[in-house]
C-alpha cells in the first residue's frame, strides 16, 4: 500500500468536503510511540459524513466490501490503494472520541492528522477484543504497549471506565501491575 499518496488523497478529499475524521488503529498507535506494523488505514468518521466518504472513495476506485451501522471496509482497485477501514461514530462514546482527537504527526512526521487519544485507542481495543475473541491476545498486547509507553501521561480513570463497560477491570489491574 502506498501510504503516502493514500494519506494525501484522504486528507485533501475529506478536508475539501468538511469531513471530520481521525486516525485510529495502527497509525494511532505509532503516533503515540507504540511501534506497530500495519497494512491498512483505520479511521473514525461521524455518521453524518458516511455518504460523503462512500462517494469520495467510490469515485477514486475503491470498492465497498462491507458496510454496517458501525463500520465500512473498502478495498482499492490495486495494491497501492490498499485497504481503508472506517469506524462510524454514531454513539456517544465514539462521537466524543472524535471530538477530543488531537493533531499528531504520522508517516514519519510527513502529515499532521487528527488522531484519537491514547485512552480512546485503548477503549477501542478493549471493545474489539471483547467482540472478537480471535483479536483478544493481539489487542491486549497492544493495550499493554500503549500503557507502558505512555504511563505517566494517561488518564487512568477514563481507561478504567472503558474496561468497566465490558466488566474487565481485573484485566486492567493486571496490566497496570505488569507495567510498574
CATH, residue 51 = 3.30.460.40
Whether 77 has a pLDDT exceeding 80, the answer reads yes
User: How many residues in the chain?
Assistant: 180
Enclosing domain of residue 73: 1-116
Per-residue model confidence (pLDDT) at position 37? 73
Confidence of residue 44 (pLDDT cuts 50, 70, 90): very high
Out of 11-15, 116-120, 146-150, which region has the weakest mean confidence (pLDDT)?
146-150
Number of domains in the chain: 2
Q: Is 147 exposed, middle or buried (0-12, 13-18, 19+ CB in 10 A)?
A: buried
Are 22 and 10 contacting, i.e. CB atoms less than 8 angstroms apart?
no
57, 47: one domain: yes
- Averaged over 1-18, what is the pLDDT? 94
108, 123: one domain: no
Per-residue model confidence (pLDDT) at position 81? 86
135, 151: one domain: yes
28, 63: one domain: yes
Whether 32 has a pLDDT exceeding 90, the answer reads no
User: DSSP of 86-143, one letter per residue?
Assistant: EEEE-SHHHHHHHHT-EEEEETTTTEEEEE--HHHHHHHHHHHHHH-GGGHHHHHHHH
Per-residue model confidence (pLDDT) at position 38? 79
Whether 101 has a pLDDT exceeding 80, the answer reads yes
Whether 33 has a pLDDT exceeding 90, the answer reads no
- To which H or E segment does residue 51 belong? helix 50-59
61, 98: one domain: yes
Per-residue model confidence (pLDDT) at position 39? 82
Per-residue model confidence (pLDDT) at position 120? 96
- Averaged over 13-23, what is the pLDDT? 96
Q: Give the sheet arrangement for strand 40-46, strand by strand.
A: 63-67, 71-75, 83-89, 40-46, 21-24, 111-115, 102-106
Domain end marker among 94, 116, 138: 116
Whether 140 has a pLDDT exceeding 90, the answer reads yes
15, 83: one domain: yes
| Chain mean pLDDT for the chain | 93
Percentage helix, strand, coil, to 5, in the chain?
Answer: 50, 20, 25
90, 136: one domain: no
Domain end marker among 80, 97, 116: 116
20, 65: one domain: yes
C-alpha cell at 125: 481495543
109, 121: one domain: no
107, 127: one domain: no
139, 156: one domain: yes
80, 159: one domain: no
Confidence of residue 142 (pLDDT cuts 50, 70, 90): very high
Amino acid at each position: 500500500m502506498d501510504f503516502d499518496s493514500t494519506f494525501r488523497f484522504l486528507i485533501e478529499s475529506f478536508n475539501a468536503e468538511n469531513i471530520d475524521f481521525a486516525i485510529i488503529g495502527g497509525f494511532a498507535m505509532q503516533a503515540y510511540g507504540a511501534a506497530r506494523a500495519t497494512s491498512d488505514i483505520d479511521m473514525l468518521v461521524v455518521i453524518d459524513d458516511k455518504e460523503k466518504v462512500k462517494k469520495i472513495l467510490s469515485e477514486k476506485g475503491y470498492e465497498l466490501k462491507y458496510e454496517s451501522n458501525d463500520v465500512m471496509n473498502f478495498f482499492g482497485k490495486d495494491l497501492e490503494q490498499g485497504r481503508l477501514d472506517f469506524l462510524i461514530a454514531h454513539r456517544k462514546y465514539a462521537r466524543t472520541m472524535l471530538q477530543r482527537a488531537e493533531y499528531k504527526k504520522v508517516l514519519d512526521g510527513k502529515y499532521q492528522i487528527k488522531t484519537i487519544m491514547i485512552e480512546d485507542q485503548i477503549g477501542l481495543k478493549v471493545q474489539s477484543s471483547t467482540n472478537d475473541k480471535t483479536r483478544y491476545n493481539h489487542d491486549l498486547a497492544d493495550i499493554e504497549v500503549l500503557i507502558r509507553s505512555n504511563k505517566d501521561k494517561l488518564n487512568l480513570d477514563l481507561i478504567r471506565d472503558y474496561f468497566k463497560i465490558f466488566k474487565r477491570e481485573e484485566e486492567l489491574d493486571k496490566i497496570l501491575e505488569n507495567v510498574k
